[in-house]
Structure 1
Amino acid sequence: MAGAAVTEFSSSSTSRGTSVRYTPVPGEEPLRVGRPLVVAIDGPSGSGKSSVSKEVARRLRVAYLDTGAMYRAVTWDCLDRGLDLTDSALVEAAARALDLELSTSADHESVAVRGHDVTAEIREPRISQSVSAVATNLGVRNELIRRQRALIAVHGRRMVVEGRDITTVVARDAEVRLLLTASEEARMRRRGIQLGGTQTAEDLHQQVIERDLKDSTVASFSQAADGVYTVDSSDLDFEETVEAVLAVVHAAVAAPQAGH
């Protein structure tokens, strides 16, 4: 539209990620400007957490953190160095020493380990098949939770954080806590589309259902805890899901003590 104002932003990369500073157009200031706004989103595999969370972060103009990418990065590092994933102490030590650079911008996905860009590699099937062994390592979880909380703090507590135990552990004091879920059928269908139809039904079941069963031994992401809102996206398309999550954000900010 001619004459329309444009929101400007600048970004800078640091060892802790990518910081994005927005200059909003008049009349379109970010929600709770100058105040904390952490949106914690949990959910099972295939529920749409990543894509929805990114878009919600864009619209709220806050940072974005994909905690799952951090576990995948540890997994890639261990496999690349030939470490035995069943050696808990060795894998924990690898996580503590991990040289990781992770973008925290919803507009730019970037993951680097030891200076090597692994953005695409951490999404490969071999990582998906092995990541549960890392994600269920309590020592690894403690280290990555520490890093995740540090990232939330360095961004002034204005961030959408998504993963598996975000509402109950990582950011249990978030201004908004939400569980994004969907039926098994919907989740497997979405994961199949995400992977370009290259996976068999058995592969999808392993990556979605079986992985959730393994990860549920150390993280809670299938049932909403007290004070956590729930959005079921089984019958919603992407835009409808984003709008539903944004509605929860506004409701929670307006009445943070309200029920779900």
Structure 2
Amino acid sequence: MPRRKKIYEGKAKTLFEGPEPGTLVQYFKDDATAFNAEKRDVIEGKGVLNNILSEYFMQGLGDIGVPTHFIRRLNMREQLVRACEIIPLEIIVRNYAAGSISKRLGIDEGTRLPRPIIEYCYKDDALGDPLVSEEHIAAFGWASSQDMDDIVSLALRVNDFMSGVMRAVGIRLVDFKIEIGRVYDGDFQRLIVADEISPDSCRLWDMETDQKLDKDVFRRDLGSLTDAYSEVARRLGVLPKGAVPMAKPTLIN
């Protein structure tokens, strides 16, 4: 069987050429990184959990009319997704103060913000994904004014959906980040939600105890990352009680 062509490898995922034109295979790795990859480890089963959780959220968004790159899950670690041109921005939506905004503005973690705040970071690992303004985005041509209107609309729709889904299972959506891609149908361009939506890209706190159920468990050495992600999956009904995430397959010669 011919080896698939690798298109891109990031910290947590690898993209391979898809079986049909205009598609890619997105593989979820077990690698965990924090602080711009200064802290790293391999967490067995993390990729499996992120795959099934991202599938759940992407399908849910599609069901309410939010366009995404997701086509279908192929197996425990891979998804078939639509190829798109990624806008070089991370779009961050904050409902509560946590992480960098608390440090920058001196706001206590857990403080509810007056309204959802959208921030943008320029995607460049070498620069540490710096915070940028809409002025930077317009000046450097990363996105047009119409693109920005569409990005804000998509981000707030994702926030409404995710907040409701999480609240229903006793989880507070503190913040999250998404990536947006461009797809073309002839001369017509539209924007879609791409990359992933998982506990890797969200801050999720138990509504009663404020227990962290996201990558802060790894960042801050708060316990088992797979236990935290498994708890989210169980509450959402995508992981049966008592199930153990599948580790990497063992190759037999």
TM-score (norm 1): 0.30
Give the number of the structure with larger relative contact order, counting CA–CA contacts within 8 Å between residues 6 or more apart: 1
TM-score when normalising by structure 2: 0.31
Task: Determine which structure has the larger strand proportion and give its number.
Answer: 2
Higher normalized helix content (fraction of residues):
1
